[in-house]
Amino acid sequence: MATTLSEAYRDYPLNLHHIIPLDFSSLRTLPETHAWPQSEDAHHHHHDGSGSCIPIIDLMDPNAMELIGLACENWGAFQLKNHGIPLSLVEEVEEEAKRLFALPADRKLKALRSAAGATGYGRARISSFFPKHMWHEGFTIMGSPCDDAKKIWPNDHTRFCNIIENYQKQMKLLAEKLTQMILTVLKICEDEKGWIGSSELCEAVQLNFYPCCPEPNRAMGLAPHTDTSFLTILHQSQTNGLQIFKEGAGWVSVDPQPNTLVVHTGDILHILSNSRFRCALHRVMVNSARQRYSVAYFYGPPLDYVLSPLLLLTPFPRFRSLSIKDYIGIKAKNLGEALSLITTTQN
Ligand SMILES: O=C(O)CCC(=O)C(=O)O
Ligand SMILES: [Fe+2]
């Protein structure tokens, strides 16, 4: 039985064709394989007319818990300042991501994700669901980063590992704090909070790189998706690109703010909250002038945790109960259809 997140993905192998990124450094034009049909909203780089933009919440604010609850209900995302993560650590992680993605393609390919693997260098896991390729390279870490880092830097991987491990520790503490607040807002009883802080949690760190693109209007950095996590904490470099879909407003840019982290509500929290909290559909656009980097930390309950909106004592659970492992499997096979496949009511 799978006990770790990377083992949970072993049953859903991908074709290598869906793992190897293009060598973007060698390209001066956009290949047809990477040209997406243009939609009207493609460059809706902006907040809608009503001035609506993703909430910025100060974790030190005495009302932070209520504000987080409201943001999760209305947006499924918010920006968090005064989060307690040292700026120097975030900067170091961004530097490490830059150092890694700047390596020649053959070095990065030494840590290529295997077909049934979940960690290492490669394209976004969601790639296989889309007919066109994304303008993106990724590096996925689950548990210790050292095995994959050693493949890339056989003699000097320690710096990378120390920084990533420190980041994992700090992110976990912040995720625990946010989870406590969120479960309190949902009035979930103390007994059901037992998984917070357990050692078997599902955690992953994803380094993302979006190179400069010769034709950004026809390319896609990361296609629209929701995160499978309970919550995701995202650091983005000071380059625009991330957008969140909000009903009534369309695609809204999440402009980078100094020393501020983006928090996304994931599918698992959406299910647990019986749809009270949204899980934000998000995507990344690219640009021709500036490279973009991001570091996502995904956090969720252990694989054997049984997800059930029934914990809310609702007489109308919208989703059937299932384990985290089963949900990861359904998502791996169905991506955007996963939530509707476990819905109990006809909407
Ligand atoms: O690069 C970003 O800003 C978003 C990354 C993301 O959505 C992900 O890794 O799931
Ligand atoms: Fe995401």
pLDDT digits (tens, 9 = 90+) for 115-154: 889 999 999 999 999 999 999 999 999 999 999 999 999 9
Domain 4-10+58-304: top CATH class: mainly beta
Specify burial of residue 342 (Cβ count, 10 A radius: 0-12, 13-18, 19+): buried
Find the 189 Cα to ligand 1 centroid distance in Å. 32
Query: Residue 45's pLDDT is what?
Result: 47
What is the number of the ligand 1 atom nearest to the C-alpha of 282?
A: 7
Ligand nearest the Cα of residue 209 is: 1
Q: List all residues whose CB is within 6 A of at least one atom of ligand 1.
A: 206, 208, 222, 227, 234, 236, 242, 282, 284, 294, 296
Domain ranges within the chain, ordered by starting residue: 4-10+58-304
Owner of token pair 């150092």: 99
As a whole number, the mean pLDDT across the chain is 92
- Taking CA atoms only, the protein residue closest to ligand 1 atom 9 is 296
Task: Tell me whether residue 320 is one of the annotated catalytic residues.
Answer: no
Distances in Å between the Cα of 69 and the Cα atoms of 76, 250, 312, 317 are 9, 22, 15, 20
State the CB neighbour count (10 A cutoff) for residue 55. 16
Q: Tell me the pairing of strands 77-81 and 56-58.
A: parallel
How far from each other are the two terminal CA atoms of the chain, in whole angstroms? Answer: 35
Q: Determine which one of 113, 123, 278, 292 is catalytic.
A: 292
- What are the pLDDT digits (tens) for 25-69? 778 899 999 999 986 665 454 444 455 789 999 999 999 999 999
Find the 232 Cα to ligand 1 centroid distance in Å. 9
- Taking CA atoms only, the protein residue closest to ligand 1 atom 8 is 296
Ligand nearest the Cα of residue 225 is: 2
Q: Which helix (H) or strand (E) holds 182?
A: helix 158-185
What is the number of the ligand 1 atom nearest to the C-alpha of 232?
A: 10
Torsion, CA 60, CA 66, CA 68, CA 74, rounded to 10: -150
Q: What is the ipTM of this complex?
A: 0.99
Find the 242 Cα to ligand 2 centroid distance in Å. 9
Encoded tokens for 146? 């050292």
Least confident of 15-19, 54-58, 155-159, 233-237: 15-19
Query: The pTM is what?
Result: 0.94
Ligand nearest the Cα of residue 266 is: 2
- Taking CA atoms only, the protein residue closest to ligand 1 atom 3 is 242
Residue 88 banded pLDDT, cuts 50, 70, 90: very high
- What are the pLDDT digits (tens) for 262-319? 999 999 999 999 999 999 999 999 999 999 999 999 999 999 999 988 777 788 899 9
Angle subtended at Cα 48 by Cα 45 and Cα 54, rounded to the nearest 5 degrees: 80
Find the 224 Cα to ligand 2 centroid distance in Å. 8
